Amino acid sequence: MTTIEFKGLRKAYKDVTAVEHLDATAQPGRITGFLGPNGAGKSTALRCLLGLATPTSGEALIGGKTYSQLTDPLKQVGAVLDSSGFNGSLTANQNMKIICTAAGISHDRIQPLLELVELGEVGSKRTKGFSLGMRQRLSLAVALLGDPQILVLDEPANGLDPIGIAWLRKFLRDLADAGKTILVSSHQLAELEHTVDDVIILNHGKLIAAGALAEIKQGHTSLEEAFLALVTAPAATSSKGDAK
Ligand SMILES: Nc1ncnc2c1ncn2[C@@H]1O[C@H](COP(=O)(O)OP(=O)(O)O)[C@@H](O)[C@H]1O
Ligand SMILES: [Mg+2]
């Protein structure tokens, strides 16, 4: 019901096929890492999922529906694509109020969410003074405003220091434990290795592996090593696990 599914998703631009026939899923109660080097097609696939890009063919579905078919998208899917979308001359609170008003969400949710992301004391500060890490956390708070079942995060660890990354890890784990479906992208395999339950790994737009982290890592000391083995193996296009 609240599964994310890529079904034969393909997205081609004029000169480049960003995503080629992607079949993969992300399940409720689990953190799924959407991994691959820069240019692998992660953001493009996530943009298709969130209705920000139109698939050339295939589908990206949320609970069996495309984003545009969702009746109340902001209450069904929380997304963080980049954290530069705030109006710097407004406070964190004011930025959140605008979104609440647009989406018909009670303003009462703002302060508890600011506290959840540890910005409870800076809600009345203008966001232009926020560090990248603070903006990332504010983006997470915004994504959770509608209490969505599904969370889609594109490179949320970018700009976070080790403490911030540890914080993000626990934050996502608590949400997954509460039953949410979490799809989180990263180009840094080592960083997400300790955060995710399942992985979907892309390289040059193609799926190279999908399944439980332990299964993909089997026989390797790290996910990075498993990735390198997969991209250099002759059968590098085969997939494991639940990639149907
Ligand atoms: N709007 C676009 N127009 C043309 N090419 C694009 C566009 N968006 C992405 N691409 C290309 O698609 C490929 C995948 O990019 P992207 O999805 O951003 O990868 P990732 O997020 O994994 O780094 C890259 O070669 C990129 O240059
Ligand atoms: Mg990207």
HEC profile of 113-170:
HHHHCCCCCCCCCEHHHCCHHHHHHHHHHHHCCCCCCEEEEECCCCCCCHHHHHHHHH
Q: Where are the domains of the chain?
A: 4-232
Report how far ligand 1's centroid is from the alpha carbon of 202 (Å): 13
When pLDDT is averaged across residues 26-53 and rounded to a whole number, the result is 96
Are 45 and 19 in contact, with CB atoms under 8 Å apart?
yes
At residue 160, the pLDDT reads: 84
Report how far ligand 1's centroid is from the alpha carbon of 93 (Å): 33
**Closest protein CA for atom 10 of ligand 1:** 18
At residue 158, the pLDDT reads: 83
Which CATH architecture does the domain made up of 4-232 adopt? 3-Layer(aba) Sandwich (3.40)
Report how far ligand 2's centroid is from the alpha carbon of 139 (Å): 16
Whole-number Å distance between alpha carbons of 6 and 49: 8
The full DSSP string for 85-111 is -S-TTSBHHHHHHHHHHHHT--GGGHH
Report how far ligand 2's centroid is from the alpha carbon of 124 (Å): 31
When pLDDT is averaged across residues 5-20 and rounded to a whole number, the result is 97
Whole-number Å distance between alpha carbons of 223 and 215: 10
At residue 54, the pLDDT reads: 97
Does pLDDT of 56 surpass 70? yes
pLDDT band for position 243 (50/70/90)? very low
Pocket of ligand 1 (CB under 6 A): 13, 16, 18, 36, 38-44
Q: Count CA atoms closer than 13 A to 242's CA, side-chain side.
A: 15
Does pLDDT of 10 surpass 90? yes
Which single residue is written with the structure tokens 């920000």?
52
What percent of the chain lies above the pLDDT cut of 70? 94
At residue 192, the pLDDT reads: 86
Ligand 1 atom closest to 53 (CA): 1
Each residue's pLDDT tens digit, 135-178: 999 999 999 999 999 999 999 988 788 888 899 999 999 999 99
Each residue's pLDDT tens digit, 71-98: 989 889 999 987 678 999 999 999 999 9
What would you report as the CA-atom Rg of the chain, rounded to the nearest whole angstrom? Answer: 18
**Closest protein CA for atom 7 of ligand 1:** 13
At residue 234, the pLDDT reads: 63
Does pLDDT of 235 surpass 60? no
Q: Which amino acid is at 46?
A: L
